[in-house]
Chains A and B, each alone.
Chain A
Amino acid sequence: MRAGFVDPVFESQRVFRGVLAAMSEPGRVVSLEARPVAPGPLHPATVAIALALVDLETPIWLDDAAATAETVAHLRFHCGCPIVDEPARARFAVIADPDRMPEIGAFDAGTDEYPDRSATLIVQTRDLIAGSGRRLSGPGIATEARLSAQALPPRFWEAMRANHARFPRGIDVLLTAGVSLVALPRTTWVEG
């Protein structure tokens, strides 16, 4: 087993701040300052988000690629979170292999009364580059933003459009690559 944050209080505050910045400006690539040790298939940004946001009240679901014994032990110990088999019961989901990710409908999209009680997906990609690629628009984006994310299948982007269509319900997505993070909240419209 490996260590978590070196300085849990300040590092989790910095990561929270990073996620907040990413969520308020969808499409912006945020580099997280905290770089915790990442077990197995997880990226440092994925682990940092989990260490900062996941705890005993937020069940987490891991896809087959992410759910190695090392990852499970690491998250159980450092986050103290329940690890669930059913995507629908998860508050957070880690997807290390986007090609085989479940249908977006498999995750909890909240209710019309409580749309905030929904799942947040952490999807790992190979590379995140702003300024070229797909066109993003919506709250937090002045005119348009462009994002190129490697290794995401076309059906992921179709799912993002379907997700946007059911607003206020829906899931929110955090894309991670290495120590970089981009948020795609349900309010963001993706074209191209």
Chain B
Amino acid sequence: MPPSAEARARWMSALAQAEPAAVEAAWARLDPEPPYRLLRAAETGLVMVRGRAGGTGIPFNLGEMTVTRCSVTLDDGRVGHAFVPGRDRRHAERAAALDALLQDEAVRAGLERLVIEPLLAARRRREQAARARVAGTKVEFFTMVRGEE
């Protein structure tokens, strides 16, 4: 059974937003190292990030970001894709290979535990640390209503 789109989005996001070194370390823990072939070697380009004011407004272009993408295939024909921020080609390649491996139900649970959950935990820690760091300089803005009437 193929994975649900949400499940796949979750691990692709975890792999993409992880530190490249953490993905490489997770890959090194796989034994034996799974073989894969490159479909499209890692290449770096720009994607336009779009946003909506307030989350619901008219879409606007926020700016371009550097992204590296890669696609690989396994011997059984499964294809894995990765789009990762930055220009770390190895990160993209490993993330694509893990995406392909994770589509196999037989190994998914094990890989989720071994690779994805630690990456997500590390990401939560990074985000919490960032929040704690900026919380000290938080300022509340408000606008006085002018009494012109």
Contact of B68 with A by CB under 8 A:
no
Complex: A128 Cα to B24 Cα, angstroms: 50
Whole-angstrom distance from the CB of B47 to the nearest CB of chain A? 14
Q: B38 near A: Cβ within 8 Å?
A: yes
A33 to chain B, nearest CB (A): 19
Contact of A1 among B41, B43, B77 (CB under 8 A): B77
- Find out whether the CB atom of B43 lies under 8 angstroms from the CB atom of A77: no
Q: Determine whether the beta carbon of B39 is less than 8 Å from that of A3.
A: yes
Are A3 and B43 in contact, with the CB atoms below 8 A?
Answer: no
Return chain A residues, CB-CB under 8 Å to B73: 1
Q: Which of the four size classes fits the interface of chain B?
A: 10 to 19
**For residue B41, which residues in chain A have a CB less than 8 angstroms away from its CB?**
8
Partner of A78, one of B37, B38, B40, B79: B40
In this complex, what residue of A is CB-closest to B71?
Answer: A77
Bound: A3/B41 CA distance, A: 9
Decide yes or no whether A168 CB sits under 8 A from chain B: no
For B15-41 the 0/1 string (1 means CB < 8 A from A) is: 000000000000000000000011111
Kindly state the separation between the CA atoms of A36 and B23 in the bound complex, as whole angstroms: 31
Q: How far apart sit A173 and B25, CA to CA, in the bound complex (Å)?
A: 52
A2 to B38, CA, bound (A): 9
Interface residues of B in 56-102 (CB under 8 A from A): 71, 73, 77, 79
B38–A1 touching, CB < 8 Å:
no
Given contacts A1-B73, A1-B77, contact A8 B43 (CB under 8 A): yes
A4-B39, A77-B39, A77-B40 are known; give 14 further A-B pairs, CB within 8 A: A1-B39, A1-B73, A1-B77, A1-B79, A2-B39, A3-B37, A3-B38, A3-B39, A3-B40, A4-B40, A8-B41, A8-B43, A77-B71, A78-B40
**In the complex, the 7 A-B pairs of residues with the closest C-beta atoms, listed nearest first:** A3-B39, A1-B79, A1-B73, A1-B39, A3-B38, A4-B40, A3-B37
